[in-house]
A and B are shown apart, each in its own frame.
Chain A
Amino acid sequence: MSQPESKDPGKIVDHLFRHEAGKMVAVLTRMFGFSNIEQAEDVVQDTILSALHVWKFGKIPENPSAWLYQTAKNKAIDMLRRQQVKHKIDSEIAYLLKSEYTLAPTVSEMFTENEIQDSQLRMMFACCHPSISPELQISLILKTLCGLSVKEIANAFLTNEETIGKRLYRTKEKIRNEKIPLEYPGAEAMPSRTASILKTLYLLFNEGYNSSHQERLIREDLCEEAMRLALLLAENEKTSLPETHALLALMCYHTSRFNSRLDDKGMIILLKDQDRSQWNKFLITKGNEYMERSASGTNVSDLHLEAAIASIHANAMHYEQTDWKSILRLYDVLLSRTDNPMVSLNRAVVCAEVQGFETAISLLEEMKGLTENCYYNTSLAEMYLNIGNKTEAKKLLGKALSLTSSNAEIELIRKKINLCR
Protein backbone atom coordinates (compact mmCIF):
# COMPACT_ATOMS: atom_id res chain seq x y z
CA MET A 1 0.00 0.00 0.00
CA SER A 2 2.57 2.55 0.99
CA GLN A 3 4.49 3.79 -1.95
CA PRO A 4 8.19 4.37 -1.95
CA GLU A 5 9.21 7.99 -2.02
CA SER A 6 9.44 9.40 -5.46
CA LYS A 7 12.89 9.82 -6.95
CA ASP A 8 11.70 12.57 -9.25
CA PRO A 9 12.71 15.83 -7.54
CA GLY A 10 9.80 17.60 -9.23
CA LYS A 11 7.29 15.36 -7.50
CA ILE A 12 6.45 15.20 -3.84
CA VAL A 13 5.22 12.15 -1.97
CA ASP A 14 1.62 11.22 -2.72
CA HIS A 15 -0.90 12.75 -0.30
CA LEU A 16 1.86 14.77 1.41
CA PHE A 17 -0.32 17.85 1.82
CA ARG A 18 -3.26 15.83 3.03
CA HIS A 19 -1.33 13.79 5.55
CA GLU A 20 0.64 16.72 6.87
CA ALA A 21 -2.58 18.74 7.11
CA GLY A 22 -4.00 16.01 9.34
CA LYS A 23 -0.95 16.11 11.56
CA MET A 24 -0.84 19.88 11.81
CA VAL A 25 -4.54 20.16 12.62
CA ALA A 26 -4.06 17.66 15.45
CA VAL A 27 -1.09 19.57 16.84
CA LEU A 28 -2.63 23.03 16.57
CA THR A 29 -5.96 21.89 18.00
CA ARG A 30 -4.14 20.41 20.94
CA MET A 31 -2.37 23.73 21.37
CA PHE A 32 -5.35 26.06 20.88
CA GLY A 33 -7.90 23.75 22.53
CA PHE A 34 -10.75 21.96 20.80
CA SER A 35 -13.01 25.01 20.87
CA ASN A 36 -10.59 26.64 18.45
CA ILE A 37 -10.39 23.76 15.99
CA GLU A 38 -11.68 25.91 13.11
CA GLN A 39 -8.83 28.34 13.64
CA ALA A 40 -6.38 25.47 13.70
CA GLU A 41 -7.82 24.38 10.38
CA ASP A 42 -7.44 27.90 9.00
CA VAL A 43 -3.76 28.04 9.97
CA VAL A 44 -3.20 24.72 8.21
CA GLN A 45 -5.05 25.82 5.08
CA ASP A 46 -2.94 28.96 5.06
CA THR A 47 0.25 26.95 5.50
CA ILE A 48 -0.55 24.70 2.57
CA LEU A 49 -1.42 27.69 0.42
CA SER A 50 1.97 29.22 1.25
CA ALA A 51 3.67 26.01 0.24
CA LEU A 52 1.75 25.91 -3.01
CA HIS A 53 2.61 29.56 -3.71
CA VAL A 54 6.33 29.09 -3.22
CA TRP A 55 6.96 25.51 -4.30
CA LYS A 56 5.12 25.76 -7.57
CA PHE A 57 7.96 27.82 -8.97
CA GLY A 58 9.89 24.63 -9.12
CA LYS A 59 11.86 24.36 -5.94
CA ILE A 60 10.63 21.75 -3.50
CA PRO A 61 12.46 22.09 -0.19
CA GLU A 62 14.74 19.26 0.82
CA ASN A 63 12.51 18.42 3.75
CA PRO A 64 8.99 19.41 2.71
CA SER A 65 7.40 18.38 6.02
CA ALA A 66 9.84 20.48 8.03
CA TRP A 67 9.09 23.45 5.77
CA LEU A 68 5.38 23.06 6.41
CA TYR A 69 5.85 22.70 10.18
CA GLN A 70 8.06 25.78 10.36
CA THR A 71 5.51 27.82 8.42
CA ALA A 72 2.67 26.58 10.61
CA LYS A 73 4.72 27.32 13.74
CA ASN A 74 5.37 30.89 12.59
CA LYS A 75 1.71 31.45 11.79
CA ALA A 76 0.63 29.96 15.12
CA ILE A 77 3.10 32.05 17.13
CA ASP A 78 2.01 35.14 15.24
CA MET A 79 -1.60 34.38 16.00
CA LEU A 80 -0.94 33.76 19.67
CA ARG A 81 1.13 36.91 20.03
CA ARG A 82 -1.62 39.01 18.52
CA GLN A 83 -4.12 37.19 20.71
CA GLN A 84 -6.19 36.39 17.69
CA VAL A 85 -7.35 33.01 18.94
CA LYS A 86 -11.13 33.28 19.18
CA HIS A 87 -12.12 31.16 22.15
CA LYS A 88 -10.28 30.99 25.43
CA ILE A 89 -7.41 28.55 25.10
CA ASP A 90 -8.28 25.67 27.37
CA SER A 91 -5.49 23.25 26.52
CA GLU A 92 -3.22 21.86 29.20
CA ILE A 93 -0.35 23.93 27.88
CA ALA A 94 -2.33 27.19 27.77
CA TYR A 95 -0.14 28.81 30.44
CA LEU A 96 3.01 28.12 28.45
CA LEU A 97 1.60 29.97 25.46
CA LYS A 98 0.94 33.11 27.45
CA SER A 99 4.48 34.20 28.14
CA GLU A 100 7.07 35.21 25.57
CA TYR A 101 9.63 33.17 27.50
CA THR A 102 7.88 29.92 26.79
CA LEU A 103 5.76 30.64 23.73
CA ALA A 104 8.15 29.87 20.86
CA PRO A 105 9.90 26.92 22.52
CA THR A 106 6.56 25.37 23.44
CA VAL A 107 5.19 25.70 19.94
CA SER A 108 8.42 24.23 18.54
CA GLU A 109 8.26 21.34 20.97
CA MET A 110 4.71 20.56 19.86
CA PHE A 111 5.96 20.05 16.31
CA THR A 112 8.54 17.40 17.15
CA GLU A 113 7.87 13.91 15.90
CA ASN A 114 6.86 12.46 19.26
CA GLU A 115 4.48 15.28 20.07
CA ILE A 116 2.91 15.16 16.61
CA GLN A 117 2.17 11.49 17.09
CA ASP A 118 0.90 12.18 20.56
CA SER A 119 -1.43 14.89 19.28
CA GLN A 120 -2.80 12.58 16.60
CA LEU A 121 -3.54 9.89 19.18
CA ARG A 122 -5.23 12.35 21.52
CA MET A 123 -7.33 13.56 18.62
CA MET A 124 -8.23 9.97 17.79
CA PHE A 125 -9.42 9.34 21.33
CA ALA A 126 -11.53 12.49 21.20
CA CYS A 127 -13.02 11.68 17.77
CA CYS A 128 -13.84 8.12 18.85
CA HIS A 129 -15.35 9.00 22.19
CA PRO A 130 -18.09 6.45 22.98
CA SER A 131 -20.69 9.20 23.27
CA ILE A 132 -20.31 9.99 19.55
CA SER A 133 -21.97 7.71 17.02
CA PRO A 134 -19.63 5.76 14.71
CA GLU A 135 -20.95 7.55 11.63
CA LEU A 136 -20.06 10.92 13.11
CA GLN A 137 -16.73 9.61 14.37
CA ILE A 138 -15.70 8.55 10.88
CA SER A 139 -16.55 11.92 9.33
CA LEU A 140 -14.59 13.78 11.97
CA ILE A 141 -11.59 11.48 11.66
CA LEU A 142 -11.49 11.96 7.93
CA LYS A 143 -11.71 15.73 8.30
CA THR A 144 -9.30 16.32 11.17
CA LEU A 145 -6.84 13.45 11.05
CA CYS A 146 -6.81 12.59 7.37
CA GLY A 147 -7.05 16.08 5.91
CA LEU A 148 -10.02 15.36 3.64
CA SER A 149 -12.28 18.24 2.66
CA VAL A 150 -16.03 18.21 3.27
CA LYS A 151 -16.52 17.71 -0.45
CA GLU A 152 -14.19 14.72 -0.54
CA ILE A 153 -15.90 13.10 2.45
CA ALA A 154 -19.31 13.68 0.87
CA ASN A 155 -18.05 12.13 -2.34
CA ALA A 156 -16.68 9.10 -0.52
CA PHE A 157 -20.01 8.46 1.18
CA LEU A 158 -22.05 9.27 -1.90
CA THR A 159 -23.86 12.06 -0.14
CA ASN A 160 -23.85 15.86 -0.37
CA GLU A 161 -21.64 18.45 1.27
CA GLU A 162 -24.48 19.83 3.34
CA THR A 163 -25.07 16.50 5.06
CA ILE A 164 -21.40 16.09 5.92
CA GLY A 165 -21.11 19.72 6.98
CA LYS A 166 -24.00 19.25 9.40
CA ARG A 167 -22.53 16.01 10.67
CA LEU A 168 -19.19 17.64 11.40
CA TYR A 169 -20.85 20.59 13.07
CA ARG A 170 -22.89 18.31 15.32
CA THR A 171 -19.85 16.26 16.25
CA LYS A 172 -17.74 19.28 17.12
CA GLU A 173 -20.59 20.71 19.16
CA LYS A 174 -20.83 17.45 21.05
CA ILE A 175 -17.12 17.42 21.85
CA ARG A 176 -17.34 21.00 23.06
CA ASN A 177 -20.52 20.60 25.07
CA GLU A 178 -19.51 17.37 26.70
CA LYS A 179 -16.05 18.78 27.30
CA ILE A 180 -14.39 15.73 25.80
CA PRO A 181 -10.71 16.40 26.45
CA LEU A 182 -7.86 15.94 24.00
CA GLU A 183 -6.20 13.62 26.44
CA TYR A 184 -5.39 9.98 26.88
CA PRO A 185 -7.89 8.05 28.91
CA GLY A 186 -6.64 6.71 32.23
CA ALA A 187 -4.93 3.33 32.37
CA GLU A 188 -8.14 1.62 33.40
CA ALA A 189 -10.21 2.93 30.51
CA MET A 190 -7.37 2.59 27.99
CA PRO A 191 -8.23 -0.89 26.64
CA SER A 192 -11.91 -0.17 26.11
CA ARG A 193 -11.30 3.28 24.64
CA THR A 194 -8.65 1.85 22.32
CA ALA A 195 -11.09 -0.88 21.34
CA SER A 196 -13.61 1.73 20.33
CA ILE A 197 -11.03 3.44 18.11
CA LEU A 198 -10.24 0.07 16.54
CA LYS A 199 -13.91 -0.51 15.88
CA THR A 200 -14.20 2.83 14.13
CA LEU A 201 -11.09 2.23 12.03
CA TYR A 202 -12.50 -1.18 11.15
CA LEU A 203 -15.70 0.48 9.95
CA LEU A 204 -13.74 3.08 8.02
CA PHE A 205 -11.72 0.35 6.37
CA ASN A 206 -14.86 -1.61 5.44
CA GLU A 207 -16.41 1.55 4.12
CA GLY A 208 -13.59 1.58 1.60
CA TYR A 209 -13.25 -2.13 1.05
CA ASN A 210 -16.91 -2.97 0.58
CA SER A 211 -18.04 0.31 -0.86
CA SER A 212 -19.90 0.22 -4.13
CA HIS A 213 -18.25 3.49 -5.04
CA GLN A 214 -17.43 3.71 -8.72
CA GLU A 215 -14.06 5.28 -8.17
CA ARG A 216 -11.53 2.77 -7.07
CA LEU A 217 -9.13 5.46 -5.93
CA ILE A 218 -11.59 6.70 -3.35
CA ARG A 219 -12.13 3.22 -1.97
CA GLU A 220 -8.39 2.62 -1.77
CA ASP A 221 -7.94 5.96 -0.07
CA LEU A 222 -10.34 5.10 2.74
CA CYS A 223 -8.63 1.75 3.33
CA GLU A 224 -5.22 3.37 3.28
CA GLU A 225 -6.25 6.04 5.78
CA ALA A 226 -7.71 3.44 8.13
CA MET A 227 -4.47 1.46 7.94
CA ARG A 228 -2.33 4.53 8.47
CA LEU A 229 -4.17 5.38 11.67
CA ALA A 230 -4.14 1.77 12.88
CA LEU A 231 -0.38 1.77 12.37
CA LEU A 232 -0.12 4.85 14.51
CA LEU A 233 -1.88 2.97 17.31
CA ALA A 234 0.45 0.01 16.86
CA GLU A 235 3.51 2.24 17.12
CA ASN A 236 2.53 3.66 20.48
CA GLU A 237 3.00 1.50 23.51
CA LYS A 238 -0.16 2.77 25.19
CA THR A 239 -2.37 1.68 22.30
CA SER A 240 -0.39 -1.20 20.90
CA LEU A 241 -2.73 -3.90 22.17
CA PRO A 242 -3.04 -7.44 20.78
CA GLU A 243 -6.32 -6.34 19.16
CA THR A 244 -4.54 -3.49 17.42
CA HIS A 245 -2.25 -5.99 15.72
CA ALA A 246 -5.19 -8.26 14.92
CA LEU A 247 -6.90 -5.37 13.14
CA LEU A 248 -3.76 -4.57 11.18
CA ALA A 249 -3.39 -8.22 10.21
CA LEU A 250 -6.99 -8.27 8.99
CA MET A 251 -6.45 -5.09 6.98
CA CYS A 252 -3.26 -6.42 5.42
CA TYR A 253 -4.92 -9.68 4.35
CA HIS A 254 -7.87 -7.86 2.83
CA THR A 255 -5.82 -5.28 0.98
CA SER A 256 -3.55 -8.01 -0.40
CA ARG A 257 -6.52 -8.91 -2.62
CA PHE A 258 -7.44 -5.39 -3.58
CA ASN A 259 -6.18 -5.71 -7.13
CA SER A 260 -7.62 -9.19 -7.73
CA ARG A 261 -11.17 -8.46 -6.73
CA LEU A 262 -12.15 -6.60 -9.85
CA ASP A 263 -11.26 -7.20 -13.48
CA ASP A 264 -10.26 -4.53 -16.01
CA LYS A 265 -13.88 -3.67 -16.64
CA GLY A 266 -14.65 -3.29 -12.95
CA MET A 267 -16.41 -6.66 -12.78
CA ILE A 268 -16.32 -8.45 -9.43
CA ILE A 269 -14.17 -11.57 -9.33
CA LEU A 270 -15.23 -13.97 -6.58
CA LEU A 271 -12.67 -15.33 -4.13
CA LYS A 272 -12.96 -18.72 -5.80
CA ASP A 273 -12.02 -17.35 -9.22
CA GLN A 274 -9.33 -14.87 -8.21
CA ASP A 275 -5.83 -15.26 -9.59
CA ARG A 276 -3.98 -15.88 -6.35
CA SER A 277 -0.60 -15.15 -7.93
CA GLN A 278 -1.84 -11.55 -8.13
CA TRP A 279 -2.32 -11.32 -4.39
CA ASN A 280 0.16 -9.01 -2.77
CA LYS A 281 2.73 -11.27 -1.07
CA PHE A 282 4.28 -8.42 0.85
CA LEU A 283 1.00 -7.58 2.52
CA ILE A 284 0.27 -11.23 3.30
CA THR A 285 3.67 -11.54 4.98
CA LYS A 286 2.97 -8.33 6.89
CA GLY A 287 -0.41 -9.73 7.86
CA ASN A 288 1.24 -12.87 9.19
CA GLU A 289 3.65 -10.75 11.22
CA TYR A 290 0.86 -8.74 12.81
CA MET A 291 -1.03 -11.95 13.37
CA GLU A 292 1.87 -13.30 15.38
CA ARG A 293 2.15 -10.09 17.36
CA SER A 294 -1.57 -10.20 18.10
CA ALA A 295 -1.15 -13.56 19.78
CA SER A 296 -0.34 -12.34 23.27
CA GLY A 297 -2.43 -11.94 26.36
CA THR A 298 -5.46 -14.03 27.18
CA ASN A 299 -8.20 -12.14 25.43
CA VAL A 300 -9.38 -13.44 22.05
CA SER A 301 -11.30 -10.59 20.46
CA ASP A 302 -13.68 -10.69 17.49
CA LEU A 303 -10.90 -9.01 15.56
CA HIS A 304 -8.62 -11.94 16.35
CA LEU A 305 -11.17 -14.38 14.99
CA GLU A 306 -11.82 -12.37 11.87
CA ALA A 307 -8.11 -11.94 11.24
CA ALA A 308 -7.60 -15.68 11.71
CA ILE A 309 -10.26 -16.43 9.09
CA ALA A 310 -8.73 -13.93 6.68
CA SER A 311 -5.33 -15.46 7.36
CA ILE A 312 -6.46 -18.94 6.30
CA HIS A 313 -7.83 -17.55 3.05
CA ALA A 314 -4.75 -15.44 2.37
CA ASN A 315 -2.33 -18.27 3.01
CA ALA A 316 -4.15 -20.91 0.94
CA MET A 317 -2.31 -21.46 -2.35
CA HIS A 318 -5.48 -22.61 -4.11
CA TYR A 319 -9.13 -22.24 -3.33
CA GLU A 320 -9.39 -26.02 -3.05
CA GLN A 321 -6.65 -26.05 -0.42
CA THR A 322 -8.57 -23.73 1.89
CA ASP A 323 -8.85 -25.19 5.38
CA TRP A 324 -12.64 -24.85 5.52
CA LYS A 325 -12.98 -26.89 8.70
CA SER A 326 -10.84 -24.45 10.68
CA ILE A 327 -12.70 -21.53 9.17
CA LEU A 328 -16.00 -23.08 10.20
CA ARG A 329 -14.75 -23.57 13.74
CA LEU A 330 -13.72 -19.92 13.91
CA TYR A 331 -17.15 -18.86 12.68
CA ASP A 332 -18.73 -21.04 15.35
CA VAL A 333 -16.81 -19.15 18.02
CA LEU A 334 -17.67 -15.81 16.43
CA LEU A 335 -21.32 -16.77 16.27
CA SER A 336 -21.37 -17.80 19.92
CA ARG A 337 -20.59 -14.21 20.90
CA THR A 338 -22.54 -12.15 18.42
CA ASP A 339 -26.02 -12.06 16.96
CA ASN A 340 -24.83 -10.30 13.83
CA PRO A 341 -26.84 -11.86 10.99
CA MET A 342 -23.96 -11.30 8.56
CA VAL A 343 -21.80 -13.65 10.62
CA SER A 344 -24.49 -16.36 10.40
CA LEU A 345 -24.71 -15.75 6.67
CA ASN A 346 -20.96 -16.08 6.17
CA ARG A 347 -20.90 -19.15 8.36
CA ALA A 348 -23.60 -20.80 6.26
CA VAL A 349 -21.61 -20.11 3.10
CA VAL A 350 -18.57 -21.80 4.66
CA CYS A 351 -20.81 -24.66 5.74
CA ALA A 352 -21.52 -25.39 2.09
CA GLU A 353 -17.82 -26.17 1.61
CA VAL A 354 -17.67 -28.50 4.61
CA GLN A 355 -21.08 -30.09 4.84
CA GLY A 356 -22.46 -29.63 1.36
CA PHE A 357 -24.93 -27.34 -0.36
CA GLU A 358 -28.07 -29.01 0.98
CA THR A 359 -27.06 -28.27 4.59
CA ALA A 360 -26.12 -24.71 3.68
CA ILE A 361 -29.44 -24.18 1.93
CA SER A 362 -31.44 -25.30 4.94
CA LEU A 363 -29.34 -23.07 7.18
CA LEU A 364 -29.89 -20.09 4.92
CA GLU A 365 -33.61 -20.77 4.50
CA GLU A 366 -34.01 -20.81 8.28
CA MET A 367 -32.44 -17.37 8.66
CA LYS A 368 -34.72 -14.46 9.25
CA GLY A 369 -34.41 -10.80 8.54
CA LEU A 370 -31.96 -11.11 5.68
CA THR A 371 -34.34 -11.44 2.74
CA GLU A 372 -33.76 -7.81 1.86
CA ASN A 373 -30.00 -8.28 1.83
CA CYS A 374 -28.43 -8.54 -1.59
CA TYR A 375 -25.59 -10.82 -0.51
CA TYR A 376 -28.02 -13.18 1.21
CA ASN A 377 -30.01 -13.62 -1.98
CA THR A 378 -26.97 -14.12 -4.19
CA SER A 379 -25.42 -16.61 -1.75
CA LEU A 380 -28.58 -18.69 -1.52
CA ALA A 381 -29.00 -18.50 -5.30
CA GLU A 382 -25.46 -19.81 -5.72
CA MET A 383 -26.31 -22.81 -3.54
CA TYR A 384 -29.44 -23.58 -5.56
CA LEU A 385 -27.49 -23.24 -8.79
CA ASN A 386 -25.00 -25.78 -7.48
CA ILE A 387 -27.69 -28.37 -6.85
CA GLY A 388 -29.29 -27.63 -10.21
CA ASN A 389 -32.38 -25.80 -9.03
CA LYS A 390 -32.34 -23.03 -11.61
CA THR A 391 -35.88 -21.82 -11.02
CA GLU A 392 -35.25 -21.02 -7.38
CA ALA A 393 -31.85 -19.51 -8.18
CA LYS A 394 -33.31 -17.25 -10.84
CA LYS A 395 -36.00 -16.01 -8.49
CA LEU A 396 -33.46 -15.10 -5.81
CA LEU A 397 -31.13 -13.40 -8.27
CA GLY A 398 -34.01 -11.31 -9.55
CA LYS A 399 -34.63 -10.22 -5.99
CA ALA A 400 -30.91 -9.49 -5.45
CA LEU A 401 -30.88 -7.31 -8.55
CA SER A 402 -33.44 -5.01 -6.99
CA LEU A 403 -31.31 -4.62 -3.87
CA THR A 404 -28.10 -3.16 -5.24
CA SER A 405 -27.13 -0.03 -7.08
CA SER A 406 -23.55 -1.05 -7.67
CA ASN A 407 -22.79 -1.56 -11.35
CA ALA A 408 -20.21 -4.21 -10.61
CA GLU A 409 -22.72 -6.20 -8.57
CA ILE A 410 -25.48 -5.77 -11.13
CA GLU A 411 -23.16 -7.12 -13.82
CA LEU A 412 -22.22 -10.12 -11.72
CA ILE A 413 -25.85 -10.94 -10.89
CA ARG A 414 -26.85 -10.64 -14.56
CA LYS A 415 -24.13 -13.07 -15.48
CA LYS A 416 -25.49 -15.54 -12.93
CA ILE A 417 -29.04 -15.08 -14.20
CA ASN A 418 -27.82 -16.06 -17.65
CA LEU A 419 -26.58 -19.34 -16.18
CA CYS A 420 -30.09 -20.10 -14.98
CA ARG A 421 -31.44 -20.58 -18.49
Chain B
Amino acid sequence: MEKFLYLFRGGMSENIGQSAEAMQAHMQKWMGWMKTLESKGVLVGGEPLDPKGMQLSGVNKTITDGPFVEAKEMVGGFLVVKAKDIHEAAELAKGCPILEVDGKIEVRPIQKMDMPK
Protein backbone atom coordinates (compact mmCIF):
# COMPACT_ATOMS: atom_id res chain seq x y z
CA MET B 1 0.00 0.00 0.00
CA GLU B 2 1.16 3.50 -0.89
CA LYS B 3 0.23 6.75 0.82
CA PHE B 4 -1.58 9.55 -0.94
CA LEU B 5 -2.40 13.12 -0.04
CA TYR B 6 -5.76 14.69 -0.79
CA LEU B 7 -5.75 18.47 -1.00
CA PHE B 8 -9.21 20.03 -0.85
CA ARG B 9 -9.87 23.31 -2.60
CA GLY B 10 -13.03 25.37 -2.71
CA GLY B 11 -16.42 24.04 -1.71
CA MET B 12 -16.78 26.46 1.16
CA SER B 13 -17.85 29.68 -0.51
CA GLU B 14 -20.45 27.70 -2.40
CA ASN B 15 -22.05 26.89 0.90
CA ILE B 16 -22.48 30.54 1.80
CA GLY B 17 -26.12 31.50 1.57
CA GLN B 18 -27.16 27.92 2.14
CA SER B 19 -29.54 27.21 4.95
CA ALA B 20 -28.32 25.90 8.28
CA GLU B 21 -30.21 22.68 7.60
CA ALA B 22 -28.55 22.25 4.21
CA MET B 23 -25.12 22.83 5.73
CA GLN B 24 -25.81 20.24 8.38
CA ALA B 25 -26.89 17.78 5.70
CA HIS B 26 -23.68 18.51 3.78
CA MET B 27 -21.61 17.93 6.86
CA GLN B 28 -23.40 14.68 7.52
CA LYS B 29 -22.35 13.53 4.05
CA TRP B 30 -18.72 14.29 4.86
CA MET B 31 -19.00 12.30 8.08
CA GLY B 32 -20.41 9.41 6.12
CA TRP B 33 -17.58 9.51 3.62
CA MET B 34 -14.91 9.77 6.33
CA LYS B 35 -16.50 6.83 8.06
CA THR B 36 -16.31 4.78 4.87
CA LEU B 37 -12.59 5.55 4.56
CA GLU B 38 -12.06 4.59 8.14
CA SER B 39 -13.98 1.35 7.95
CA LYS B 40 -11.97 0.38 4.86
CA GLY B 41 -8.88 0.96 6.97
CA VAL B 42 -7.38 3.41 4.48
CA LEU B 43 -7.62 6.62 6.47
CA VAL B 44 -4.27 7.72 7.86
CA GLY B 45 -5.23 11.20 9.06
CA GLY B 46 -6.05 14.73 8.10
CA GLU B 47 -6.98 18.18 9.33
CA PRO B 48 -8.82 21.29 8.24
CA LEU B 49 -6.74 24.41 7.60
CA ASP B 50 -7.57 27.90 8.77
CA PRO B 51 -7.66 30.34 5.83
CA LYS B 52 -5.61 32.82 7.80
CA GLY B 53 -1.89 32.12 7.89
CA MET B 54 1.50 33.48 7.09
CA GLN B 55 3.93 33.16 4.24
CA LEU B 56 7.68 33.54 4.45
CA SER B 57 9.74 34.29 1.40
CA GLY B 58 13.14 35.34 0.20
CA VAL B 59 16.48 35.70 1.83
CA ASN B 60 15.02 38.62 3.75
CA LYS B 61 12.56 36.18 5.29
CA THR B 62 9.68 38.51 4.53
CA ILE B 63 6.51 37.53 6.29
CA THR B 64 3.13 38.23 4.73
CA ASP B 65 -0.28 37.52 6.21
CA GLY B 66 -2.70 35.25 4.38
CA PRO B 67 -5.04 34.33 2.81
CA PHE B 68 -3.00 34.41 -0.38
CA VAL B 69 -5.40 33.16 -3.00
CA GLU B 70 -9.11 33.54 -3.55
CA ALA B 71 -11.39 31.28 -1.57
CA LYS B 72 -12.07 28.71 -4.25
CA GLU B 73 -8.37 28.15 -4.87
CA MET B 74 -7.38 27.95 -1.22
CA VAL B 75 -6.44 24.63 0.31
CA GLY B 76 -9.08 24.16 2.98
CA GLY B 77 -7.78 20.92 4.40
CA PHE B 78 -5.98 17.69 3.70
CA LEU B 79 -6.23 13.96 4.23
CA VAL B 80 -3.71 11.18 3.94
CA VAL B 81 -5.03 7.84 2.73
CA LYS B 82 -3.58 4.46 1.84
CA ALA B 83 -4.24 2.92 -1.56
CA LYS B 84 -2.79 0.36 -3.96
CA ASP B 85 -1.99 2.97 -6.58
CA ILE B 86 -2.93 6.47 -7.70
CA HIS B 87 -5.96 5.17 -9.60
CA GLU B 88 -7.39 3.52 -6.56
CA ALA B 89 -6.69 6.69 -4.54
CA ALA B 90 -8.53 8.79 -7.12
CA GLU B 91 -11.41 6.32 -7.15
CA LEU B 92 -11.70 6.59 -3.36
CA ALA B 93 -11.83 10.37 -3.62
CA LYS B 94 -14.89 10.19 -5.87
CA GLY B 95 -17.08 9.70 -2.83
CA CYS B 96 -16.10 13.04 -1.32
CA PRO B 97 -19.07 15.44 -1.00
CA ILE B 98 -16.87 18.46 -1.76
CA LEU B 99 -17.39 17.58 -5.41
CA GLU B 100 -21.11 18.33 -5.03
CA VAL B 101 -20.40 21.93 -4.02
CA ASP B 102 -17.98 22.89 -6.74
CA GLY B 103 -14.87 21.93 -4.79
CA LYS B 104 -11.81 20.15 -6.14
CA ILE B 105 -9.57 17.39 -4.83
CA GLU B 106 -5.96 17.13 -5.81
CA VAL B 107 -4.57 13.61 -5.31
CA ARG B 108 -0.81 13.37 -4.89
CA PRO B 109 1.31 10.31 -4.20
CA ILE B 110 3.48 10.76 -1.15
CA GLN B 111 6.96 9.85 -2.29
CA LYS B 112 9.15 7.52 -0.33
CA MET B 113 12.52 8.82 0.61
CA ASP B 114 14.33 5.51 0.40
CA MET B 115 16.04 3.96 -2.63
CA PRO B 116 13.74 3.80 -5.70
CA LYS B 117 12.81 0.29 -6.74
Interface on A for B, CB 8 Å cutoff?
10-12, 15-18, 20-21, 45, 48-49, 51-58, 60, 147-149, 151-152
Contact = CB atoms under 8 A, between A and B. Distances in A.
Interface of B: 12, 15-24, 26-28, 30-32, 34-35, 38, 46-48, 76-77, 79
Contact of B15 (A10, A11, A52): A52
Contact of B31 (A10, A15, A147, A152): A10
Given A57-B47, A58-B34, A52 B22 contact: no
A149 B19 contact: yes
Contacts of B22: 149
Contacts of A53: 12, 48, 76-77
B73 to A, nearest CB: 16
Contacts of A151: 19
A54 B24 CA distance: 12
A48 B31 contact: no
Contacts of A54: 48
Q: Chain B binding site: helix, strand, loop or mixed by DSSP?
A: helix
Contact of B24 (A16, A45, A58, A152): A16
A20 B24 CA distance: 12
A49 B23 contact: yes
Given A10-B31, A15-B21, A56-B27, A49 B16 contact: yes
A55 B76 CA distance: 12
Contacts of A148: 19, 21
Contacts, number: 75
A17 B21 contact: yes
Contacts of A56: 26-27, 30-31, 34, 48
B24 to A, nearest CB: 4
Q: Which of B48, B76, B77, B79 gathers the greatest number of chain A CB atoms within 10 Å?
A: B48
A45 B15 CA distance: 10
A18 B24 contact: yes
Contacts of B30: 56-58
B20 A147 contact: yes
Nearest to B26: A52
A166 B35 CA distance: 42
Q: Which of A16, A56, A57, A147 gathers the greatest number of chain B CB atoms within 10 Å?
A: A56
A68 B28 CA distance: 17
A55 B18 contact: no
Contacts of A45: 16-17
Contacts of A17: 20-21, 23-24
Nearest to B30: A56
B47 A11 contact: no
7 contacts: A12-B27, A18-B21, A49-B15, A52-B15, A57-B30, A147-B19, A149-B18
A295 B103 CA distance: 57
A21 B76 CA distance: 23
Contacts of B15: 49, 52
A151 B19 CA distance: 8
Q: Which of B30, B31, B47, B76 gathers the greatest number of chain A CB atoms within 10 Å?
A: B31
B24 A15 contact: yes
A16 B20 CA distance: 9
A43 to B, nearest CB: 13
Given A15-B24, A17-B21, A52-B23, A58 B31 contact: yes
Contact of B27 (A20, A52, A147, A149): A52
Nearest to A15: B21
B19 A18 contact: yes
Contacts of A152: 19, 21
A18 B20 contact: yes
Q: Which A-B residue pairs are the 4 nearest by beta carbons?
A: A149-B19, A56-B30, A17-B20, A17-B24
A297 B26 CA distance: 49
